[in-house]
Amino acid sequence: MLQSTMTTTYTITELATEFGVTTRTIRHYENEGLLSPRREGLNRLFCNRDRVRLKLALRGKRLGLSLAEIRELFDLYDLAHDEKRQLQEFLTKLEKRRALLAQQREDIEVILDEIAFFENQCRKLLAEGQRSGTQSAAA
C-alpha cells in the first residue's frame, strides 16, 4: 500500500493478492470500465474507490451478475443523488437471479429423478440378465 499526501493507493499486485484474483482479472475489469486507476509511467495506482469497486464487482460476480449488470449498478451510484434508485435496481437484479437459480434447482431435481429412474432400470436389466445367464448355464 502506497501512502501519498492525500490518499492511499494500491498496486495491481496488492489488490490481486488481497482479493485472491489475478492481475489479468483486474486489468479486464479496468477494460470493462469498472475500475479507473491512475497511471504513473507503466504502473497502475488504484485508489480506495477502485478497491471498493473491485470488492463489490467480485461480490456481484459471486451472485451471478454479469460485468455489464455490475457496471450499470456502478453507473447508477455515480449518477444518483441518493442510493434509492441503485438499491431498487440491485433488488430487481437479485430477484431475477433468485428466480433463475430456483428454476435451475427445479430443473436439476427433475434430471436427478430421471437419472435415478434409468439407473434402476439398468440395474433391473442387469439383474435379469444375470438370472438368465445362471439358468442357461445350469441347463
1-64 sits in which CATH class?
mainly alpha
> Would you kindly state where each structural domain of the chain is located, as residue ranges?
1-64, 80-139
CA distance 119 to 125: 10
For the chain, give the percent of residues with pLDDT over 70: 89
8-16 long-range contacts, CB within 8 A, separation 24+: 8/47, 8/48, 9/38, 9/45, 9/46, 9/47, 10/45, 10/46, 10/47, 10/50, 10/51, 11/43, 11/44, 11/45, 11/46, 12/37, 12/44, 12/46, 15/46, 15/50, 15/51, 15/54
pLDDT for the residue 135: 63
pLDDT for the residue 90: 86
pLDDT for the residue 139: 54
- pLDDT tens for each residue of the chain, 139 residues long: 655 445 789 999 999 999 999 999 999 999 999 999 999 998 999 999 999 999 999 999 999 999 999 998 888 877 766 778 878 888 998 999 999 999 999 999 999 999 999 999 999 999 998 877 666 555 5
**DSSP letter string over 81-139?**
SSSHHHHHHHHHHHHHHHHHHHHHHHHHHHHHHHHHHHHHHHHHHHHHHHHHHHHHHH-
Q: Find, among 3, 5, 1, 4, the residue nearest to 13 by Cα.
A: 1
Helix then strand count (H, E) for the chain reads: 5, 4
| pTM > 0.85: yes or no | no
Cell of 57: 464487482
Looking at residue 47, the DSSP 8-state letter turns out to be E
pLDDT for the residue 2: 53
